[in-house]
Amino acid sequence: MHERHPTCQVITADDELFLLDCGEGAQEQMNRFKIRRSRISHIFISHLHGDHYLGLPGLLNSFSLTSRKDPVHLYGPAALMPILDLMFEAAQANLSYPLHFHALEEEKQLVDGKKFTVTCFRVFHRIECWGFVIREKEKPRKIDPDRADDLDVPTSFYPSLKEGLDYVHPSGRVVKNEWVTKSSNPPRSYGYCADTRFDLSIAEKVIGCNLIYHEATYLDDLREKAAERFHSTARQAAELAQAARAKSLLIGHFSSKYEDISPFLEEARYSFQNTELAKEGVTFLIEHFQEGHFPEVRG
């Protein structure tokens, strides 16, 4: 309704894409917004309500249609794989690539990649539901080659400089690391809180994230209804972002009963200024944050 689709978020992690949920119609939206599906390497499904995973079987099948060979890592509630297996069996589907399913069972680190880690945490929905935090790893220090050259550090030592080591000349003279390098941008992080009723304990899980996504199904005048249905309000999302000392907040999952969603923004910004609406196909760059500037980059 109102041209809004079920949930699916694409996180660009360097050359790989991470998918957070995959609602019905996700593929069509990917076509529309020119997302290169072949680069999707990890898919995280928060819970088994249809609006969060009904686009997945079609996507997994499409990978085969393009003869994909690269593995796909799929994370979700344990009950997901039996459903997919039954569907594959009914369709007599043979996937062209390895599909590795990882059932979510406890709060832990799921992915330890070269540049990113992903952890999962429990949220509070009507059925088993998980949130995810994607964290960039600490980046190597940046070398100032002119300074390093002036102080006679051999280029063969540069990899060690990037890791923060001091250089010691054969003579015993020490070149302190900070004289010839500077720190890279601090690592970024994104906390995806999926569908959940408001619960302040979630703030600990996403503490200090550059960007938090928190659902806001209702406006705050319906906070009782929200709690009953295990959903949150825009104001609650903002309170959570504040408690988590997040740099910025993205709210979404607005009930289809609201045609105009601008009051959500207003309500959330009252408590947490750096809020934006999760609109269809908008890309948010999670950047090294400058206060007061919300990092939306394109529509």
Residues with active-site annotation: 51
Name the residue nearer to a second copy (CB basis): 42 or 125.
Answer: 125
**Is residue 58 involved in binding a second copy (CB under 8 A)?**
yes
Please name the amino acid found at residue 63: F
**Is residue 31 involved in binding a second copy (CB under 8 A)?**
yes
Name the residue nearer to a second copy (CB basis): 188 or 197.
Answer: 197
Residue ranges in 127-156 that form contacts with a second copy under rule CB under 8 A: 127
Cα separation, 87 vs 104, in Å, equals 21
**Is residue 92 involved in binding a second copy (CB under 8 A)?**
yes
Q: Which of 33, 50, 150, 288 binds a second copy (CB under 8 A)?
A: 50
DSSP string, the chain: -TT-----EEEEETTEEEEE---TTHHHHHHHTT--GGGEEEEE----SHHHHTTHHHHHHHHHHTT--S-EEEEE-TTHHHHHHHHHHHTT---SS-EEEEE--SS-EEEE-SSEEEEEEE---SS--EEEEEEEPPPPPEE-HHHHHHTT--GGGHHHHHTTPPEE-TTS-EE-HHHHEE--PPPPEEEE--S----THHHHHTTT-SEEEEE--B-GGGHHHHHHTT--BHHHHHHHHHHTT-SEEEEE---TT-S--HHHHHHHHHH-SSEEE--TT-EE---S--TT---EEE-
**Is residue 215 involved in binding a second copy (CB under 8 A)?**
no
**Is residue 57 involved in binding a second copy (CB under 8 A)?**
yes
Name the residue nearer to a second copy (CB basis): 37 or 115.
Answer: 37
Q: Which of 24, 136, 220, 267 binds a second copy (CB under 8 A)?
A: 24
252 strand-pairing partners: 215
Q: Which of 16, 39, 41, 48 binds a second copy (CB under 8 A)?
A: 48
Place of tokens 């344990």: 78
Span near a second copy by CB under 8 A; candidates 88-96, 98-106, 111-119, 205-213? 88-96
Name the residue nearer to a second copy (CB basis): 61 or 117.
Answer: 61
Name the residue nearer to a second copy (CB basis): 58 or 140.
Answer: 58
Q: How far is the CB of 234 from a second copy (least distance, A)?
A: 21
**Is residue 82 involved in binding a second copy (CB under 8 A)?**
yes
CB 244 within 8 A of CB 212: yes
**Is residue 34 involved in binding a second copy (CB under 8 A)?**
no
Q: Which of 12, 14, 70, 86 binds a second copy (CB under 8 A)?
A: 86
Q: Which of 7, 27, 217, 248 binds a second copy (CB under 8 A)?
A: 27
**Is residue 91 involved in binding a second copy (CB under 8 A)?**
yes
**Is residue 103 involved in binding a second copy (CB under 8 A)?**
no
Cα separation, 193 vs 198, in Å, equals 10
List residues near a second copy by CB under 8 A: 1, 5-6, 24-25, 27-28, 31, 48-51, 54-55, 57-58, 61, 77, 79-80, 82-83, 86-87, 89-92, 126-127
